[in-house]
Amino acid sequence: MSPYEPVESPDETTIFSYHSLTPPTTREIYEAQRIVRRYLPRTPLVRSESLSADLDADVYLKREDVLPTGSFKIRGFYNLVANLNREFRERGLITSSMGNHGQGMATAAREFDVSAVVVVPETLENPTKIDGMKRLGATVVRHGQDVDEAREHAEREAAEKGYRYVHGGNEPHLIAGRASAGLEVMEDCPDVDVVINPVGGGSSAAAYALTVSKLLGADVVGVQAAGADAVYRAWSEGIIELQDRADTFAEGIKTRTPFALPLGIMREHLTEMVLVEDDDLRAAIRQLLVDDSVLAEGAAATSVAAALQLGDTLAGKTVVLPISGSNLSAEKLREILANR
């Protein structure tokens, strides 16, 4: 079978013969960490005095927002592109994205001199992310009304033109690279009790599950927006379904479909998954900015909103909240600050 022909998929997305649905091993995660360290700095783990006081806990922020492109996504792409076979280095990469995923791919592709195409929905209104992808050398194509329609277009283009399609979740190399953040948490805070992490496609939560949960025995809690809860439902019920709609201002977690690989990892290792309302995300963004001088985008604020929602259950514990990205548009920031 040609590598450009889709194969049977366990979820509602298209996969090709070069995709794997096998979780990365611990050895592969440590190998990925060595690659990531060549290109990216270690991110700080910083105590939040305000959240520690609010929750009567030791609360630390894992500052993934300080990485190049302002997002954790970039970790996985250096590992994926470093392991790309020669054929796809010549043909180039294609993916769909709401911005951070695309910026991460564009950065790593430029490092390895590989062309990159990113399909974004026509409704994406975050110029920070769009301009960032273009500056990094990616070709940005607008298609569809949401990221799932953009994804379907990218899948068709990969089949027709032979690009290496980078899946949003069914990519062990992405998960292994992003798990380097979990290894850093293990080294910097080995007494961690709980990690609370945003869930869009689920690669980051799966990465923490394979490190701080599997290796240290800490609890990992996933968080979705209440209006975009496809993965929450799949995690709870074990049924992968494409939902009709996703409704949240946090574009980084605005997806209608679960992905089989990260979902399987999360179902095995996550302790809990919770939902938060958009108003709680806005309040968390304001609190982080005012009390900790941290600018978090909507998806990143889910960890803080969920921690405040869990409240007393975290008392006395050591809690890590990954701040997964900082790419909040100026328009959204003005709106959030104006409507306190």
- Residue range 122-172, pLDDT digits in tens: 998 888 889 999 999 999 999 999 999 999 999 999 999 999 999 999 999
Report the CATH number that the domain containing residue 183 is assigned in CATH.
3.40.50.1100
Looking at the structure, tell me whether residues 331 and 232 fall in a common domain: yes
Asked if the structure places residue 186 within a domain, the reply is: yes
Task: For residue 19, give the nearest of 178, 210, 192, 166 by alpha carbon.
Answer: 166
Q: Tell which of 124, 150, 165 closes a domain.
A: 165
The Cα–Cα gap between 7 and 2 comes to 10
Confidence of residue 121 (pLDDT cuts 50, 70, 90): very high
Asked if the structure places residue 307 within a domain, the reply is: yes
Render pLDDT for 80-97 as a digit per residue (tens, 0 to 9). Answer: 999 999 999 999 999 999
Asked if the structure places residue 4 within a domain, the reply is: no
Looking at the structure, tell me whether residues 96 and 201 fall in a common domain: no
Beta-ladder partners of 140:
118
Percent of the chain whose predicted confidence (pLDDT) is above 90: 94
Asked if the structure places residue 21 within a domain, the reply is: no
Looking at the structure, tell me whether residues 91 and 183 fall in a common domain: no
Looking at the structure, tell me whether residues 212 and 181 fall in a common domain: yes
Looking at the structure, tell me whether residues 227 and 276 fall in a common domain: yes
Asked if the structure places residue 2 within a domain, the reply is: no
Looking at the structure, tell me whether residues 317 and 223 fall in a common domain: yes
Please report the pLDDT score of residue 90 as a whole number: 92
Looking at the structure, tell me whether residues 93 and 179 fall in a common domain: no
Is the separation of the CB atoms in 96 and 168 below 8 Å?
yes
- Supply the mean pLDDT for the chain: 96
Asked if the structure places residue 16 within a domain, the reply is: no
Q: Strand, helix or coil at 98?
A: coil
Q: Strand, helix or coil at 61?
A: strand
Task: Provide the residue range defining the domain that includes 208.
Answer: 27-71+172-338
Please report the pLDDT score of residue 228 as a whole number: 96
Counting Cα atoms < 13 Å in the Cβ hemisphere of 24 gives 32
Asked if the structure places residue 183 within a domain, the reply is: yes
Looking at the structure, tell me whether residues 186 and 212 fall in a common domain: yes
Looking at the structure, tell me whether residues 250 and 299 fall in a common domain: yes
Looking at the structure, tell me whether residues 139 and 277 fall in a common domain: no
Render pLDDT for 273-325 as a digit per residue (tens, 0 to 9). Answer: 999 999 999 999 999 999 999 999 999 999 999 999 999 999 999 999 999 99
Looking at the structure, tell me whether residues 115 and 244 fall in a common domain: no
Is the separation of the CB atoms in 24 and 172 below 8 Å?
yes
Looking at the structure, tell me whether residues 328 and 185 fall in a common domain: yes
Please report the pLDDT score of residue 339 as a whole number: 82
Render pLDDT for 2-61 as a digit per residue (tens, 0 to 9). Answer: 678 999 999 999 999 999 999 999 999 999 999 999 999 999 999 999 999 999 999 999
Crossing angle, helix 278-292 and helix 330-338, to 10 degrees? 90
CA distances from 131 to 65, 126, 134, 200, 295 (A): 18, 9, 5, 22, 19
Confidence of residue 1 (pLDDT cuts 50, 70, 90): low
Q: Tell which of 150, 165, 180 closes a domain.
A: 165
Confidence of residue 77 (pLDDT cuts 50, 70, 90): very high
Asked if the structure places residue 138 within a domain, the reply is: yes
Q: In this model, does residue 68 exceed pLDDT 90? A: yes
Number of separate domains in the chain: 2
The Cα–Cα gap between 199 and 16 comes to 24
Render pLDDT for 166-187 as a digit per residue (tens, 0 to 9). Answer: 999 999 999 999 999 999 999 9
Confidence of residue 64 (pLDDT cuts 50, 70, 90): very high
Q: Tell which of 106, 140, 165 closes a domain.
A: 165
